[in-house]
Chain A
């Protein structure tokens, strides 16, 4: 079974530029998550989808971050414009169902550096 795929793996941009990350979850997984992991910290949930609907985006900085999951499969996360403090690893995860006991399967992450 293929795991969660993410691209690109690395991205370097200057502040005020825009950037987009892509995620392909495990086939058949209904729930998809985007996390931000700043160096030395644990992952912080940005947004959670159930199929193509948003379940929780309470911690997403909506003035600059946006995400979509059209057709309920792949997802993209965009930052526009980027700030220095957005430098982090962006992790995508998926799980079969929307439930607290579900294991989350993580992708390798996209490492973003904003200069």
Chain B
């Protein structure tokens, strides 16, 4: 069956450290993988998109890697801040030409001051 797993339900880190979140998938061949942030009581907000032929993407303190051999994406937040505390969702398309997003269960990140 098709699965999208994010490493843990919750991750606590100290302010200033790098947070690393994992997204593993099985039985998908995604053309695109996206990361979203969701705050309590709000809808998800888009952060980054990475294509299957890209290894890495960066945006300010955020970095995403995509390894189609390992079927894994890593999401890094460097110099983390308490304001980065939220749930982070990975989402992928099923294949080339597909346009529906399938979401993982999310990882709740807490940055401790």
Contact = CB atoms under 8 A, between A and B. Distances in A.
Contacts of A93: 43
B90 to A, nearest CB: 8
B46 A48 contact: no
Contact of A56 (B43, B49, B100): B100
A40 B34 CA distance: 19
A65 interface: no
A108 B51 contact: no
Contact of B103 (A4, A42, A105): A42
A91 B43 CA distance: 7
Interface residues of B, number: 27
B43 A101 contact: no
Nearest to B94: A100
Contacts of A31: 99
B99 A105 contact: no
B44 to A, nearest CB: 5
A91 B99 CA distance: 17
Contact of A40 (B43, B45, B105): B105
A109 interface: yes
Contact of A42 (B41, B42, B51, B105): B105
A43 interface: yes
Interface residues of A, number: 25
Given A45-B100, A99-B99, A106 B32 contact: no
B97 interface: yes
B43 A108 contact: yes
A45 B44 CA distance: 13
Interface string A90-115: 01010000111111111111000000
A62 interface: no
A108 B41 contact: yes
B99 A109 contact: no
Contacts of B100: 45, 48, 56, 100
A98 B44 CA distance: 19
A35 B29 CA distance: 22
Enumerate the 7 nearest inter-chain pairs by beta-carbon distance, A residue then B residue, closest first: A106-B43, A42-B103, A100-B93, A103-B46, A100-B99, A100-B32, A43-B103
